[in-house]
Structure 1
Amino acid sequence: MQKEIQTLQTRTALYRRERHSVALAREFTRTALADWDLKQRAEDIVLCVSELATNALLHGVPPGRGYRLWLSLPEAARGTLRIEVHDSGGGEPCVPAAAVTGDAEAGRGLLLVAALADAWGIGERLPGKVVWCEFRRGEGDAGEGYGRA
């Protein structure tokens, strides 16, 4: 019996506590997706990165600190793209229990992540936390096949 060895392609970047870092995180993600030839759901993936980076910037990064964006993808044709945003702040992110009104300019970040990603969650980190989301790859070639379970 032959055991399949699965290697990961990973990309990581550190960002300062600056507003333009969210745009840099989006561009970093677009570049990784293009390099990995991932086209399906690319805009959903970039939007989730934007929301997680924005939340880290606004709620999770203390002054003088930054956050890390980490992307990983198995090299096999099937697998799961994982996005992690690491910050050193306290608190635990959550999806609002009450619906956000149509005129609200904030409060939708994790609602969007929960709706678009196949999975998401929060992990511990000392100090701080890791907020992650995943997009599963389905049947098909590496550039296609992302879908919901």
Structure 2
Amino acid sequence: MTIESPEIQSASTGRVRVALAEDDWTTTLQQRHWYRCWAWRSAGSEVAGIARGLAAETLADWRLGPMSDDVKLCVSELVGNALLHGQSDPASHDAWSTPLSLGLRYFPSTCLMVEVGDSSVAPPLWTWLDPEIDPGEALFADGRGLMILREIADRVWWRCHPGAGKTVYARLDTPRYFEAPVCGEHA
């Protein structure tokens, strides 16, 4: 994976933090797709569980059950990151003036996209571990979420909305979750 961004070195923890690549995918949105979204003006820790439940219900409605575990994990990690790092001003009483949002987009037979928006314009940071360091020690506090997404999702990126926060996207390609019928068999 090529990352074109400045690195943030943390020698004491044996890890490098790299800004996630920003991308513009407006042409993709012109394709036919199904979409559901939710927004929370006041976001507490219970939102992650609610978001996972909404994602599971949506996948059941769209008959994408085999994707459910991976999508719920993506939703958990992205919503958790938004709750932890996504406030524009954590000291402000009105830090969530831009809502926390969750969107699911299904492009039939191609992919499902999970998107989570928050009020911060700061880029999400990948964590890259020094191979000489024990991952358990280097990741005790943070840095695991996007590493998990990197393993589950086929692509992860973000988009800044100046003055209105950002959205982080995870794409899961649907063909890898469904076995193609053998010639002569009916699906």
Task: Answer whether TM exceeds 0.5 for this pair.
Answer: yes
Residue 144 of structure 1 aligns to which amino acid in structure 2? F
Q: What corresponds to 2:101 in structure 1?
A: 68
Cα offset for 1:106?
Answer: 2.8
* C-alpha distance after superposition, 1:77-109 (max 9, x if no partner): x11101111111131111112267325153200
Q: How does 1:1-149 map to 2 (within 5 A)?
A: 7-15=32-40, 16-62=42-88, 63-65=95-97, 66-74=99-107, 76=108, 78-98=109-129, 101-102=135-136, 104-126=140-162, 127-138=164-175, 144-145=178-179
* Structure 2: unaligned runs, 5 residues or longer: 1-29, 89-94, 181-187
Counterpart secondary structure, 1:41: helix
* Structure 1: unaligned runs, 5 residues or longer: none
Q: How many residues align?
A: 137
Q: What's the % identity of the aligned pairs?
A: 29
The whole-number CA distance in structure 2 between the counterparts of 1:132 and 1:13 is: 15
Residue 22 of structure 1 aligns to which amino acid in structure 2? A
Cα offset for 1:44?
Answer: 1.0
Residue 135 of structure 2 aligns to which amino acid in structure 1? T
Larger Rg: 2
TM (normalized to structure 2)? 0.66
Over the residues paired in the alignment, what is the CA RMSD in angstroms? 2.3
Residues 57, 43 of structure 1: CA spacing in aligned structure 2 closer, same or farther, 3 A cutoff? same
TM (normalized to structure 1)? 0.81
Whether the 8 Å CA contact 1:17–1:61 is kept in 2: the answer is no
